[in-house]
């Protein structure tokens, strides 16, 4: 166990992180084969349901663990990421949506919206009973926030058509939130989410997730071809291109905190492997462990400094999001403040994703070539950790604009 690892800050979070550590140990032996065959690990999901892990953000009153701290939720992903980052990012998708359901429940209560309070309570109870949710946002050929997937009004409710990619966890999902647009009739669009039950006719998950890394995350593409949905399935209202409001901006940060935590987990595991190698591997002519060599010590120090940067940022960002988002009554959140908080969080995401890559890269260097073999976990880690910078919203292709604009006091408006 790393001596300077991050520790949870709430009691509920402590229980959650303990579960994460147990699951991480259980999942570990299945990772090499899952990686080789790019197979989603249904068994992992079953075990996480059985332990109550998947309902962690559900309030205790509804049968969950009551983990509201996003810092602590992220630490769970961190522990999973050390052995099985594909599963970490998959379950992070679900946990973020559960967290959002609790957020909406608190918002409804805080604004005396009885119907929505009841609806969200019901959803949370389902989630406590094992319902798994996923989201499907990314879409080829358009920019985040401008979905081309469209829900058209029909007699039965809505007909949804379009195409999505990077649908992490979606094959196993009991419901999928699909970002889409609806025509207003005046040539403009609203955007929102269609709630699509798993197995709905007209929804097809492709089996196309064959990638460099994160190979068992099940992030398949999906095709919606006249998928019929009941009237109540649309959560809409924002203008097409809007940033998602208080809820959307909050969730964008919260989801990504779990992701970067998983990448820090990869970095921690790579670091430990490299240190262990250096301490135990001896070389002639001295016969001493390579740890005694100055060049190795220097590389280790660079790795340590980068890992410390990862942890410092994760801690910083986790406490920031707890203080300014999770522990604030949802109705008191302010969109301008959230833009600034998102800007600050994106700094952490940017740095952590890069430095986690650097840590694994340095661990490979320290391995002296042995880590380059497929049989070494380091070679998998090097492929997995590279997924970090792609995560939406705001890959490095867009994030500098976002951060710069909000730091300069301008409204965030990334070029499209």
Looking at residues 240 to 299 of the shown chain, list those that interact with a copy of itself (rule: CB under 8 A): 240-241, 275, 278-279, 282-286, 290-299
Mind giving me the DSSP string for 59-121?
-GGGTS-----HHHHHHHHHHHHHH-HHHHHHHHHHHHHHHHHHHHHHHHHHTT-HHHHHHHH
The least distance separating a copy of itself from the CB of residue 238, rounded to whole angstroms, comes to 14
- Distance in Å, CB of 386 to a copy of itself, minimum: 7
**Quick one: how far is CA 336 from the chain centroid?**
24
Closest CA to 268 of 16, 2, 85: 2
Contacts with a copy of itself in 189-218 (CB under 8 A)? Answer: 210-213
| Nearest one of 297, 319, 388, 376 to 350, comparing CA atoms | 388
The DSSP result for 13-75, as a single string, is: HHHHHHHHHHHHHHHGGGHHHHHHHT---HHHHHHHHHHTGGGTTS-GGGTS-----HHHHHH
Q: Which is nearer to a copy of itself, 124 or 307 (CB)?
A: 307
Q: Which is nearer to a copy of itself, 124 or 317 (CB)?
A: 317
Q: Which residues contact 331 (CB under 8 A, 6 or more apart)?
A: 107, 110, 111
**Residue 404 DSSP one-character state:** H
Quote the least distance from Cβ 382 to a copy of itself, whole Å: 6
The two beta strands, 175-183 and 157-167, are unpaired
The C-alpha atoms of residue 132 and residue 361 are separated, in whole angstroms, by 35
Comparing CB distances to a copy of itself, the nearer of 54 and 315 is 315
* Position 405 contacts a copy of itself (CB under 8 A): yes
Rounded to a whole number of angstroms, the minimum distance from the CB of residue 37 to a copy of itself is 13
Cα 405 to chain centroid distance, Å, stands at 24
Q: Which of residues 138-157 bind a copy of itself (CB under 8 A)?
A: 138, 141-143, 146, 148
Which one, 335 or 340, has the nearer CB to a copy of itself? Answer: 340
- Least gap, CB of 103 to a copy of itself (angstroms): 23
Task: Please give the Cα distance from 181 to 213 (Å, whole number).
Answer: 31
Q: Which of 1, 3, 187, 199 binds a copy of itself (CB under 8 A)?
A: 3
CB of 227 to a copy of itself, least distance (A): 21
> Would you say 106 or 362 has its CB closer to a copy of itself?
362
Instruction: Please identify, using beta-carbon distances, which residue of 105 and 181 lies nearer to a copy of itself.
Output: 181
Contact yes or no for 274/313 (Cβ under 8 A): no
Q: How far is the CB of 26 from a copy of itself (least distance, A)?
A: 27
Residue 11 or 212 having the CB closest to a copy of itself: 212
Q: Taking every pair of C-alpha atoms in the chain, what is the biggest distance, in angstroms?
A: 81
SS3 248: helix
CB 13 to a copy of itself: min, Å: 17
Report the alpha-carbon distance of residue 210 to residue 220 in Å, rounded: 9
CB 226 within 8 A of CB 162: no
Under the binding rule (CB under 8 A), the answer on residue 321 touching a copy of itself is no
Choose between 19 and 385: whose C-beta lies nearer to a copy of itself: 385
Enumerate the β-bridge partners of residue 158. Answer: 153, 229
Nearest distance in Å: CB 45, a copy of itself:
23
- Does residue 258 contact residue 96 with C-beta atoms inside 8 Å? yes
Ranges within 105-144 binding a copy of itself (CB under 8 A): 138, 141-143
Compute the least distance from the CB of residue 104 to a copy of itself, in Å: 27
At closest approach, how far in Å is the CB of 276 from a copy of itself? 10
Pick the closer one to a copy of itself by CB: 237 or 400: 400
Q: Measured from the CB atom, is 55 or 69 closer to a copy of itself?
A: 69
**Considering only residues 132, 320, 326, 333, which one is a binding residue for a copy of itself as defined by CB under 8 A?**
320
The interface with a copy of itself within residues 335-394 (CB under 8 A) comprises 340, 343-344, 347-348, 350-351, 357, 361, 364-366, 368-369, 372-375, 379, 382-383, 386-387, 389-390
Count of residues near a copy of itself by CB under 8 A: 92
Q: List 220's β-bridge partners, or say none.
A: 167
From start to end of 143-188, where are the E strands? 150-154, 157-167, 175-183
Q: Does 37 bind a copy of itself (CB under 8 A)?
A: no
């Amino acid at each position: 166990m790393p001596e300077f690892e991050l520790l949870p800050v709430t009691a509920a979070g402590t229980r959650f992180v303990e579960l994460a550590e147990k699951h991480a140990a259980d999942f570990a032996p299945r990772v090499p084969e899952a990686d080789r065959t790019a197979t989603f690990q249904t068994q992992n999901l079953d075990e996480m349901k059985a332990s109550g892990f998947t309902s962690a953000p559900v309030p205790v009153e509804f049968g969950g663990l009551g983990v509201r701290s996003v810092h602590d939720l992220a630490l769970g992903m961190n522990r999973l990421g050390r052995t099985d980052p594909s599963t970490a990012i998959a379950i992070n998708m679900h946990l973020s949506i559960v967290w959002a359901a609790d957020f909406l429940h608190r918002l409804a209560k805080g604004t005396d919206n009885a119907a929505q309070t009841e609806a969200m309570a019901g959803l949370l109870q389902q989630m406590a009973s094992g319902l798994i949710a996923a989201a499907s946002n990314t879409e080829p050929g358009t920019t985040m926030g401008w979905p081309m997937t469209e829900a058209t009004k029909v007699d039965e409710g809505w007909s949804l058509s379009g195409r999505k990619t990077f649908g992490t966890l979606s094959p196993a999902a009991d419901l999928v939130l699909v970002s889409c647009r609806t025509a207003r009739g005046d040539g403009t669009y609203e955007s929102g989410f269609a709630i699509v039950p798993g197995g709905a006719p007209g929804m097809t998950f492709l089996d196309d997730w064959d990638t460099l890394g994160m190979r068992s995350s099940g992030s398949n593409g999906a095709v919606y071809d006249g998928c019929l949905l009941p009237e109540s399935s649309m959560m809409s209202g924002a203008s097409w291109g809007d940033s998602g409001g208080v809820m959307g901006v909050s969730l964008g940060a919260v989801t990504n905190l779990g992701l970067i935590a998983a990448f820090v987990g990869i970095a921690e595991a790579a670091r430990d492997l490299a240190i262990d190698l250096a301490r135990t591997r001896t070389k002639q002519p001295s016969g001493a462990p390579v740890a005694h060599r100055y060049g190795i010590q220097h590389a280790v120090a660079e790795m340590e400094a980068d890992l410390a940067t990862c942890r410092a940022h994760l801690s910083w960002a986790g406490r920031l999001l707890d203080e300014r988002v999770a522990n604030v009554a949802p109705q008191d959140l302010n969109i301008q403040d959230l833009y600034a908080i998102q800007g600050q969080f994106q700094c952490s995401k940017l740095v952590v994703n890069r430095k986690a890559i650097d840590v694994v890269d340095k661990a490979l260097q320290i391995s002296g070539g042995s880590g380059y073999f497929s049989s070494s976990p380091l070679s998998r880690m090097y492929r997995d950790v590279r997924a970090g910078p792609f995560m939406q919203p705001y890959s490095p292709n867009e994030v500098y604009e976002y951060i710069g604009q909000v730091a300069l006091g301008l409204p965030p408006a990334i070029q499209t």
